[in-house]
Amino acid sequence: MTTLEKIAKLKKTKNAVILAHYYTPADVQAVADYVGDSFYLSKVAVSLEADTIVFCGVSFMGESAKLLNPHKTVLMPDLEADCPMAHMATPEDILRVRAEYEDVAVVCYINSDTELKSLSDVCVTSANAVKVVKALPNKNIYFIPDKNLAHYVAEKIPEKNFIFNPGFCPIHEHMSADEIKSAKLSHPNALVLAHPECSKEILNMADYIGSTSGILNFAKDSEVGEFIICTEQGVEYELKRQNPVGKRFYFPKTAPVCPGMKRVTLEKVLRVLETGENQVTLPEGLTESAVEPLDKMLKLAK
Ligand code: 13P
Ligand code: SF4
């Protein structure tokens, strides 16, 4: 039996589903039952009948799926697959800001570990952050951990007072503006589509800014045929799948690759299905307080 046949058989016998983020390797996306951005995957996670979820992504994603499904088994192909930004805020900073501002909402990008979520009021993803923050009654917003997404949202909601935190995604933050400029010179008709985790310099060059699925939808619906894509390279698989002929996609010369997402492989998917290893467990005592901001996000973003 091939790896794919073994995975298909085990999915049936274990009543398991495979969820994968667009940044995982193409062969992992191809085997998944659901592929999407963080918002889509968190919505899918609450609607599943399966006993086991195999989450192909980084640890905050597996932890969010477990928080939303405490009675299901959530397996991660690689427990070391991590997002560095998810740890770029501190409980001490949250307490300090709460003490300083009476009417503050702590808004936590879903790319955060469970402890940070447990200390926050509401979660957001890049797909729903503007909508969710707008719906909050609070004037003061402490947005953790991503400074770039925070500034992007703050510009859209000038009536609120944002307190920023210095976190960032190394892959999007370090994308080179010069490389985008030279891609633009080589492909003058291409539109620049950027994820809001990119630096201000890149966002200023963008024709469209949005989450991973926002970028995919924009490219699919656009009458333009060429795009410079400012997000993680893994999304190329879905861009090509959705636009099999005609459209062209260019990435920065230095490929934007998330090492955490690339730790997930088909062999590891098969292994966790075979062995039941790599179960996601949550830090003791934080489950209730960490699921509340996720639930609130799902309600406000509806
Ligand atoms: P999305 O919210 O677009 O899925 O992005 C998640 C992420 O990790 C971006 O780097
Ligand atoms: Fe985290 Fe950046 Fe990787 Fe997204 S691309 S998971 S924000 S390190």
State residue 37's pLDDT score. 93
Query: Using 50, 70 and 90 to split pLDDT, how confident is the model at 88?
Result: very high
Taking the CA of 173 as reference, the closest ligand is: 2
Work out which ligand 2 atom sits closest to the CA atom of 256.
Answer: 5
**Closest ligand 1 atom to 37 CA:** 4
196 lines ligand 2 (CB under 6 A): no
Range of lowest pLDDT (5-9, 35-39, 174-178, 275-279): 35-39
Check pocket membership of 211 for ligand 1, CB cut-off 6 A.
yes
Tell me the average pLDDT across 1-11.
97
Residue nearest to atom 8 of ligand 1 (CA): 111
Q: What is the pLDDT of residue 244?
A: 83
Nearest C-alpha to atom 6 of ligand 1 is from which residue?
38
Average pLDDT over residues 183-197: 98
pLDDT-derived band of residue 229, with 50, 70 and 90 as boundaries? very high
Average the pLDDT over 110-121 and give the result: 97
87: tokens are 């740890």
- pLDDT higher than 90, residue 181: yes
The pTM assigned to this predicted structure is: 0.95
Q: With a 6 A CB cut-off, is 260 part of the ligand 2 pocket?
A: yes
The gap from C-alpha 262 to its chain's centroid, in whole angstroms, comes to 14
Q: How much distance in Å is there from the Cα of 30 to the middle of ligand 1?
A: 19
Per-residue pLDDT band for 35 (boundaries 50, 70, 90) equals: very high
What does pLDDT average to over the chain?
A: 97
Q: Note the pLDDT of residue 42.
A: 87
Residue 190 pLDDT:
98
24 lines ligand 1 (CB under 6 A): no
Overall average pLDDT of the 258-273 stretch: 98
* Ligand 2 atom closest to residue 85's alpha carbon, by position in its atom list: 1
CA 152 to ligand 2 centroid distance, Å? 17
Whether 197 lines ligand 1, by a CB cut-off of 6 Å, is: yes
Ligand nearest to the CA of 214: 1
- 142 forms beta bridges with 106, 163
Across 268-275, average pLDDT: 98
* Pocket probe mutation, ligand 1, options 34, 211, 294, max atoms within 8 Å of Cβ: 211
pLDDT tens, 129-169?
999 999 999 999 999 999 999 999 999 999 999 999 999 99
Question: Considering only CA atoms, which residue is closest to atom 7 of ligand 2?
Answer: 169
- Assess whether pLDDT exceeds 90 at residue 246: no
Q: What is the pLDDT of residue 6?
A: 98
